Amino acid sequence: MIMTNELERAFQGASAEAPYDSLETFEKVLALRLPSEDSSAINRVYRRMIPRWHFAMLNDTERNRTFHEALRAQVAPGQLVLDVGTGSGLLAMMAVRAGARAAVSCEVLEPIAHMARRIIAANDLSERVSVLSKSSFDLSVGRDLPTLADVLVTETIDCGLLGEGILPIVHHAREHLLRPEARIIPARARIVFALLESSAIHRNNFVFEASGFDVSMFNHFSTREYFPVRLVTWDHTLLSIPTKAFDFDFREFPPTSRVTRVPVEVRQSGTVHGIVFWFELDLGDGVHLSNAPSNPRSHWMQAVLCFERPLHFDRGATAVVEAAHDATSVWFNIHPPIERKSI
């Protein structure tokens, strides 16, 4: 049995010599770096290195439909579209179907970039859609793009909006790769949160007692960041109405870090174990997409951040929620009850 770290070293070794001209060459180099006795080793490398969510994402028909609709609304005939993080090449292919003269796309994971080229060729679009095996931060006009692009499309969005790096990606593209008046898909986004009561979800990240032993020191390893949760599958109560934390306008230069304090009325007495949050995307011209709990078919789950010490609030109290984000993450904190209303 090949150990995981051997697989990772083999993959990284093969990728370090990138770019290869094809997936076949890439796999030959990978095979040379793997112990020979395991015939399924290359598939195990892919299973570990290519995020599994690509499949659910590509099968998310609402996501695909709304990005397609947005591209049809934003791309004018003959324009050049830049697709950052092309994956299978889907959005770049949609862009030329929407009328772009060409789409230049990039994908940082080399095997995925090779596969995108194959998929694009199989769809007879290689003349108009190109794929660069590199990070968008390494692209330059003249070498990789013939001109500044007229439209940027990027679906580099995780359940908490910022975790895949959409803020720095858009910032960099606006500064180096796009015309000043370029359309950006998505155009805007909002992060919305609610107070979450759910001991069941909290137990996924914190532990205090097991079989009569105090094991609470294990919480040293709890994540302090958000994690994806399909809210509908867990016992839970939302103790507040959905409330806005942050707005982002990708057509401007949105700030890369902010802190805000949001007073939230507690609608029902209970224990706040954490904050559940999600995004609302405005893809332009009234095309919207969200991973709100009310949309359980979205492949994106909701994002949950749990507090180590849950806080009890009475109905009518005001919880002060501190929301913060930097370029690639979002955090929440909560302050003890500050006032009570007579109800």
Ligand X SMILES: C[S@@+](CC[C@H](N)C(=O)[O-])C[C@H]1O[C@@H](n2cnc3c(N)ncnc32)[C@H](O)[C@@H]1O
Residues 178/154, Cβ–Cβ less than 8 Å: no
Which parts of 154-173 interact with ligand X (CB under 6 A)?
A: 155-156, 164-165, 169
Does 136 participate in binding ligand X (rule CB under 6 A)? yes
Cβ of residue 53: shortest distance to ligand X, in angstroms? 8
Q: Name the token pair of 33.
A: 């770096």
Please answer whether residues 333 and 308 qualify as being in contact, where contact means their C-beta atoms are separated by less than 8 angstroms.
no
**Rounded Cα gap, residues 251 and 228, in angstroms:** 28
Contacts of 238 (CB under 8 A, 6+ apart): 194, 195, 196, 197, 276
Using CB under 6 A, pick the residue from 42, 80, 84, 93 that binds ligand X: 84
Contact status: 75 vs ligand X (CB under 6 A): no
Nearest to 252 by CA among 187, 157, 328: 187
Q: Which is nearer to ligand X, 165 or 274 (CB)?
A: 165
* 222 in Cβ contact with 308 (< 8 Å): yes
CB 294, min distance to ligand X, A: 22
Task: State yes or no: residue 81 binds ligand X (CB under 6 A).
Answer: no
Considering only residues 87 through 116, tell me which ones interact with ligand X, judged by CB under 6 A.
Answer: 87-88, 90-91, 106-109, 112
Residue 159 DSSP SS3: coil
Q: Which amino acid is at 326?
A: D
Q: Which of 79, 86, 290, 302 binds ligand X (CB under 6 A)?
A: 86
Of 137 and 331, which CB lies nearer to ligand X in the complex structure? Answer: 137
Residue number, nearest CB to ligand X: 85
In the complex, minimum distance from the CB of residue 112 to ligand X, in angstroms, rounded to a whole number: 5
Cβ-contact 89, 120 below 8 angstroms: yes
Contact residues for ligand X (CB under 6 A)?
57-58, 84-88, 90-91, 106-109, 112, 135-137, 155-156, 164-165, 169
